[in-house]
Every structure is written in structure tokens, then in C-alpha cells.
Amino acid sequence: MRSPPEPRSPLLAALPGGRVQHAARLIGDGPAVTTLCRKRGTPTSDGDGLPYCASCRNRPNPISQQSHL
């Protein structure tokens, strides 16, 4: 049985100088990330206590939500 794929943007991250948290994924082996709203950088934290990025919220996670049978 195949395990379900991980979401392509599974992390929450705050970028340097940012005021919001983003949905992000690692670039290669990290530590740099790219966000759903197409920002890049090395996260300073996971963004606890910060509001969620409106641009990330408006973009769908780029992995299909359909079942692969």
C-alpha cells in the first residue's frame, strides 16, 4: 500500500523582517524555504502569534487533493 503524499507546502514559517506567517516548503535540503506566495528566504521562526499571510491563503496548495487509485 502506498503512503499518502505529503503536502508540498507543509511548513509554517516567518521570514526575516516579516509580519506574517507563510505556508512554506524547503528548498532542497534546507534551511531556505519558498512560500506559496512565492517569497524565498531562511525562516527566522515558525511564526507563532503572527497572522497568516493573505496571499498564501488565497493560493491553493499545489498538490492534488484527489485520491490516486
The pLDDT tens digits for 25-65 are: 999 988 999 999 999 999 998 889 999 999 999 987 665 55
pLDDT of residue 50: 94
20 within some domain: yes
The C-alpha cell of 52 is what?
497568516
57 within some domain: no
68 within some domain: no
pLDDT of residue 27: 92
Q: Print the domain residue range for 40.
A: 11-47
65 within some domain: no
Contacts of 16 (CB under 8 A, 6+ apart): 41, 42, 44
Residue 35's H or E segment, with its range, is: strand 33-35
If one counts the domains in the chain, the total is 1
pLDDT of residue 45: 86
Specify the higher pLDDT residue, 67 or 14. 14
pLDDT of residue 10: 84
What values do phi and psi take at 45, rounded to 5? -165, -175
pTM across the whole model: 0.74
- Tell me the C-alpha distance between 46 and 68, whole Å: 31
27 within some domain: yes
34 within some domain: yes
